[in-house]
């Protein structure tokens, strides 16, 4: 395999590797296609594969934290927006008083969407919230 850094920027050096979440190739995402109605909202959502490719490039460039965030993003592509927003709200300090609710959310993300690193992040948050007293009603 070539060095992932050789692919950067992907849109110029390997556009054939980029497709939207709906499967639309990057070359079809043009203003003309949008104006003619040939591009739907789902066509402009990024794919998990594109995010993983960007993560490979970031890791190759020594940007491990950025790579991890892109990999987490790839896990979230298949998670419905309402589930993401509910999870975000649950993770706000003082919103959840029972750690079992967060643990159940982590398990649901693992089981239903294969979001292992996101679930691990939530599990870690449960421990931190308990230690810092953030599982009490604040508002």
Nearest-5° Cα angle at 99, 121 to 82? 65
Could you read off the pLDDT of 57-96 as tens digits, one per residue? 999 999 999 999 999 999 999 999 999 999 999 999 889 9
Residue 29 CA: distances (Å) to CA of 18, 21, 87, 120, 128? 11, 12, 31, 35, 43
126 lies in which domain range? 78-139
| 95 Cα distance to chain centroid | 22
Q: What is the pLDDT of residue 99?
A: 95
Quick one: 60 and 88 in the same domain?
no
Q: What is the pTM of this model?
A: 0.85
Listed as ranges, residues in the chain with pLDDT below 70 are 1, 138-139
Q: Calculate the average pLDDT of the chain.
A: 94
- Joined together, the tokens standing for residue 139 give 């508002």
| 125 Cα distance to chain centroid | 17
Quick one: 66 and 2 in the same domain?
yes
- Joined together, the tokens standing for residue 1 give 């395999």
Quick one: 134 and 100 in the same domain?
yes
Q: What is the pLDDT of residue 93?
A: 87
Which three-class secondary structure state does DSSP give residue 19? strand
- How many structural domains comprise the chain? 2
Q: What sign has the CA pseudo-torsion 11, 13, 16, 18?
A: negative
Quick one: 11 and 59 in the same domain?
yes
Note whether 7 and 63 are within 8 A (CB). no
Quick one: 46 and 88 in the same domain?
no
* Last residue of one domain, picked from the residues 60, 77, 94: 77
């Amino acid at each position: 395999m070539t060095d992932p850094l050789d692919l950067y920027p992907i849109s110029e050096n390997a556009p054939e590797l980029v497709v939207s979440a709906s499967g639309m190739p990057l070359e079809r995402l043009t203003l003309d296609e949008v104006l003619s109605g040939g591009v739907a909202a789902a066509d402009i959502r990024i794919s998990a594969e594109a995010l993983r490719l960007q993560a490979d490039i970031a890791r190759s460039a020594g940007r491990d934290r950025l790579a991890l965030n892109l990999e987490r993003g790839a896990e979230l592509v298949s998670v419905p927006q309402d589930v993401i927003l509910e999870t975000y709200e649950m993770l706000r300090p003082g919103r959840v008083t029972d750690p079992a609710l967060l643990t159940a959310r982590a398990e649901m993300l693992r089981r239903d969407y294969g979001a292992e690193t996101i679930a691990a992040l939530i599990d870690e948050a449960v421990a931190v919230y308990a230690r810092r007293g953030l599982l009490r009603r604040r508002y």
